[in-house]
């Protein structure tokens, strides 16, 4: 009941106008609704960060940062080599070979400087060739990504080499993808010092690798210097790392480190991997049951 002397207030019979519903946010990463519905722009959706989670548990090829320009014409499987300047190659221990001296197919694991696995390599050769031809054997070495996709293939023919026979020098062909040649590693004749030419697909020398006169050093690494084609300056290094006296004497499970400029052509980085494998077979692989390593004179 209204009070005496005061007019009674009247209200519209229609309900209050309801506010316009806020637009639904677009699904994406880190999108939150506005605190005041209907006013202000929404936060645009963002892509999840590339390095989300544990980097060591990720596939290294999926961790490529999108902020660097990606060159065209890169063979599949070599994308991650664009961003690194060193590779570690470790040969896996074969128990049968270590115990009875029976030569088995070599297997390797390749990692980057942070320990992330890049490739797995496995030698493909027959038993007769391995045990009769020793370190001179012809072989095919296949590299695959951690997921199993083939990335690289190294082909080495059988050649009887000697410092007095320069017509039978060692060489290795690099293919990526398998079946497409991207480079060659060719031994350059020298009576005392290991020398190699790192060539492109047209067999034009791009880099040279020069080793020491003695490839065995007790207690220290053996370094093969990577130089420009005219040998005027160094651009990298292939190092045979010392693994301890017992391991060096009784096994041939070697560990190598490769250093190269980060902006080096990715194909030449792959060919340097092939040069490292050729050096391993020529100078650090056991020869039959004599437990002797090859040298520049006998390889």
* CA nearest neighbour of 122 among 91, 147, 97, 149: 91
pLDDT tens, 234-246?
999 999 987 655 5
* Mean of per-residue pLDDT scores for the chain: 75
Whole-angstrom CA distances from 71 to 50, 68, 82 are: 19, 9, 9
61 pLDDT band, cuts 50/70/90, is very low
pLDDT at site 227: 95
pLDDT at site 219: 65
- Cβ distance 103 to 289 under 8 Å? no
pLDDT at site 101: 62
16 pLDDT band, cuts 50/70/90, is low
Identify which has the larger pLDDT, 266 or 24: 266
Identify which has the larger pLDDT, 263 or 291: 263
Identify which has the larger pLDDT, 13 or 52: 13
Angle, vertex CA 140, rays to CA 116 and CA 197, nearest 5: 80
pLDDT at site 29: 35
pLDDT at site 132: 82
126 pLDDT band, cuts 50/70/90, is confident
Report the DSSP beta bridge partners of residue 198: 185, 207
Measure the CA–CA gap between 21 and 268, rounded to whole angstroms: 60
* CA nearest neighbour of 126 among 145, 140, 144: 140
pLDDT tens, 65-78?
333 334 457 888 89
Report the DSSP beta bridge partners of residue 90: 109, 255
Measure the CA–CA gap between 210 and 223, rounded to whole angstroms: 9
DSSP element (H, E) containing 229: none
pLDDT at site 258: 96
* CA nearest neighbour of 156 among 277, 297, 288: 277
| Residue 109 in this model has a pLDDT that exceeds 50 | yes
36 pLDDT band, cuts 50/70/90, is very low
């Amino acid at each position: 009941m209204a009070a005496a002397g005061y007019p009674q207030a009247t209200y519209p019979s229609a309900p209050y106008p309801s506010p316009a519903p806020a637009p639904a946010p677009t699904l994406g990463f880190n999108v939150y609704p506005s605190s005041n519905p209907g006013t202000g722009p929404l936060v645009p959706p963002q892509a999840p960060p590339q390095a989300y989670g544990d980097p060591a548990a990720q596939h290294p090829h999926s961790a490529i940062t999108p902020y660097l320009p990606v060159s065209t014409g890169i063979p599949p499987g070599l994308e991650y080599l664009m961003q690194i300047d060193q590779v570690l190659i470790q040969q896996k221990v074969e128990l049968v070979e270590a115990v009875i001296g029976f030569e088995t197919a070599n297997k390797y694991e390749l990692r980057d400087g942070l320990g992330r696995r890049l490739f797995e390599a496995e030698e493909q050769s027959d038993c007769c060739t391995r045990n009769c031809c020793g370190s001179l054997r012809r072989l095919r070495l296949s590299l695959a990504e951690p997921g199993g996709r083939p990335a690289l293939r190294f082909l080495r023919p059988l050649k009887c080499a000697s410092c007095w026979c320069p017509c039978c020098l060692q060489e290795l062909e690099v293919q990526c993808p398998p079946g497409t040649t991207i480079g060659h590693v060719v031994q350059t004749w020298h009576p005392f010092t290991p020398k190699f030419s790192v060539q492109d697909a047209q067999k034009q020398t791009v880099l040279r690798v020069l080793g020491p006169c003695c490839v065995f050093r007790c207690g220290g690494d053996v370094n093969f210097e990577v130089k420009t084609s005219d040998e005027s300056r160094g651009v990298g290094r292939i190092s045979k790392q010392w693994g301890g006296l017992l391991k060096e004497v009784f096994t041939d499970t070697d560990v190598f480190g490769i250093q190269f400029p980060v902006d080096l052509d990715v194909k030449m980085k792959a060919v340097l991997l092939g040069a490292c494998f050729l050096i391993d077979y020529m100078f650090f692989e056991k020869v039959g049951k004599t437990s002797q390593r090859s040298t520049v004179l006998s390889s």
